[in-house]
A and B are shown apart, each in its own frame.
Chain A
């Protein structure tokens, strides 16, 4: 019979094996007295060395711990409070800055719009003027028929 390694037995004893490995080892233990004995000795050794009398903290140390803990916690609370205050100030300042920037953008937006409008009008006038000049200078290549008082007058282009 092939025995598992000691480390595997120890892992089994300490519930560190996977379910599958654990099941396989259990099956092995059914037929193996040697491994069962090792496990039983492990349990006995551990039981012997499990603290029989857990020491408790003396009242003097307890009082000292709580007294110092109170002081540390007070300092911590003050720190938290100050940090919250700082955060609030920073938040308010950030909001103020945001508002300020928004107002500035709005203030700038009106003149910018006006400037853009004027520019657009000027550009339109220039373009219109140019196109008018073009149309004036454009040679009349086609026959233009003008109806005046029912008479047919033919104007010929250049």
Chain B
């Protein structure tokens, strides 16, 4: 299997196949990252489109950072995060998506409903966090990026990331305990 560096090199030469491969790897995680930040699926999809087009036009400016384990991923998430922050600044009042979540291949409606309820609750908790803490949590938990990579993506100090994650976890833990969830 080709390494990510090789795929990126091929994309720099304009190969559509390389774009498809990167799309398969990153489209869903990026969409969810943008959704966590903006709270609207339509907006997240629109931003994903813009982010991927920016990736294509700016790919020749990308240089691998050897200090980062996931250099390209961090670069791409940085584009997405900056774009989402710009959009949030523009709209200011962003609420988490109200639409029900699409669940494919679920066994029955009741089960679906429970899942939707639980997921919405969790999303609601997450949405109550400040934007940066929410972003740190999402990048850490769902995108498996380390402190240094998150700090590069969010243009902040590593200690700010650590502090943000600490505060986010503490707040979420308290919310769960308040809901009677046993930890």
Contacts and interface: CB of A to CB of B under 8 A. Distances in A.
Interface string B1-45: 000000000000111100110010001110110010000010011
Given A16-B147, A48-B176, A57-B27, A69 B52 contact: yes
B84 interface: no
A61 B140 CA distance: 26
Contacts of B147: 14, 16
A46 interface: yes
A11 B28 contact: no
Contact of A68 (B53, B142, B166): B53
A73 B183 contact: no
Nearest to A70: B16
Q: DSSP class of B's interface residues: helix, strand, loop or mixed?
A: helix
Contact of B169 (A42, A54, A55, A74): A42
A61 B50 CA distance: 11
Taking residues whose C-beta sits less than 8 angstroms from the other chain, chain B's interface range is 35 or more
Contacts of B103: 53
A72 B166 contact: no
B13 A57 contact: no
Interface string B157-178: 0000010011001001100100
A55 B16 contact: no
Contacts, number: 107
B52 to A, nearest CB: 6
Given A57-B31, A76-B56, A6 B13 contact: no
A42 to B, nearest CB: 6
Interface in B104-126: 115, 118-119, 122, 125-126
A69 B51 CA distance: 11
Interface in A54-92: 54-58, 61-62, 64-66, 68-70, 72-74, 76-77, 80
Given A45-B169, A65-B49, A54 B29 contact: yes
What 10 A-B pairs have minimum CB-CB distances, sorted nearest first? A77-B14, A76-B14, A61-B45, A72-B56, A41-B183, A44-B183, A57-B27, A73-B14, A51-B142, A45-B173
Interface of B: 13-16, 19-20, 23, 27-29, 31-32, 35, 41, 44-46, 48-49, 52-53, 56-57, 101-103, 115, 118-119, 122, 125-126, 137, 140-142, 146-147, 162, 165-166, 169, 172-173, 176, 181, 183
Interface of A: 6-7, 10-11, 14-16, 40-42, 44-46, 48-58, 61-62, 64-66, 68-70, 72-74, 76-77, 80
